[in-house]
Amino acid sequence: MEFEYYFNGSDEEYDKYFKFARQVAMEDIWLCEAAQKNLDMGVYPKGVLNPNAESGVVYYQKLLKQKMTQ
């Protein structure tokens, strides 16, 4: 996986941001792999997103849908 970052700040601020962004990316990899295993085993059913727990994803998908239907 490859990421490109643009950051307008000090080197110290960038290092702090980069460490945080890297941690989030690594957690996302683990979460996606675990979710896929649960989908494959039938533990986690396919379906709509939980609007309370996944509001960011719901909002992002809503924005995409609006752009695509304009």
Dihedral angle over CA of 62, 35, 41, 59, nearest 10: -10
Residue recorded with tokens 């986690």:
44
CA distance 61 to 68: 10
Query: What's residue 13's pLDDT?
Result: 93
> What's the pLDDT score for residue 58?
86
Dihedral sign from CA coordinates of 22, 67, 50, 44: negative
pLDDT for 63: 93
Below-70 pLDDT ranges, the chain = 1
**Which pLDDT score is estimated for 1?**
65
User: Structural domain boundaries of the chain?
Assistant: 11-68
Q: What are φ and ψ of residue 8, in 5° steps?
A: -105, 80
Read off the amino acid at residue 45.
P
Q: What does pTM read for this prediction?
A: 0.49
